[in-house]
Chains A and B, each alone.
Chain A
């Protein structure tokens, strides 16, 4: 049976995690990096669900720490927008989440992903 898939869409500057960091996770973690979380669109989140992700975590820099000032806040709005679509098609909107993580702190990023994975897998 295939491992469940979790997608993480993140600002490139939040971490430098590699597959090695997730090797012990009970699921497949797909990391997609963006120049800034503000460039993550609602459709990017939905397309992960279309590609069978069980959850999508969007990671932006901590509030007031975004290099582009408000990219992370924009990402938060996009997650909110995506939740609305998910709800309307019968997918638990909690399966899409926004997280604000420290810049270039891979440890904190991996912990955030781990927490999200636990929440999603508990829904099974």
Chain B
């Protein structure tokens, strides 16, 4: 999932300072799963903002809604109606949702309520760990399913580096050295020779070369009148 973290309330308060009526808009996608921007967080953040503004002597009216996904235009179609009485929206979706609102509704003042962090897994209650960088050129078929791009701080393609000690990363010794794990796994499977093969240079154009990236499936857009 896309993992996000709630912004400090002072930052949100600063953004909505000029407004008296604000929509707090959650998303039931990734941010709900990572306990940052679902129904529950919408209610909490709206309440906290109202308390803060009441203490400032500038009462705030909040409207609360949570969409199935903010990263899909069809679920955002109802936004103008939700915004009927609001002057601005604080979106608790990831940056994708905020951008799409800004793209589709240039007249709506949208502010992020969260910082978008990474693609990660919920490894235990309250803990999310990055597992994928979204680089667009997966090599995890060669590395026992473990991604050195996302999980090695140096993004090494030929680790472990000299700093790996007792299987731990030198940058953060709490983390395993992912290359140590890759070699352990491949050795156990009798597949270590995979690392003797010469790999083609990694194609970073899929990550950095054509920003913003776009994926097109002709079979899905054929006869579809929607553009964008």
Contacts and interface: CB of A to CB of B under 8 A. Distances in A.
Given A89-B52, A90-B55, A50 B9 contact: no
Given A89-B55, A90-B55, A46 B48 contact: yes
B14 interface: no
Interface residues of A, number: 12
A42 B45 CA distance: 10
B109 to A, nearest CB: 22
B8 interface: yes
Q: Is the interface of A mostly helix, strand, loop or mixed?
A: helix
Q: Is the interface of B mostly helix, strand, loop or mixed?
A: helix
A80 to B, nearest CB: 11
Contacts of A41: 40, 44
Which 7 pairs of residues, A with B, have the shortest CB-CB distance?
A: A89-B52, A88-B9, A46-B47, A85-B48, A43-B43, A43-B44, A50-B51
Interface of A: 41-43, 46-47, 49-50, 85, 88-91
Given A49-B51, A50-B54, 15 more contacts: A41-B44, A42-B44, A43-B40, A43-B47, A46-B44, A46-B48, A50-B47, A85-B9, A85-B44, A88-B9, A88-B10, A89-B13, A89-B51, A89-B52, A91-B51
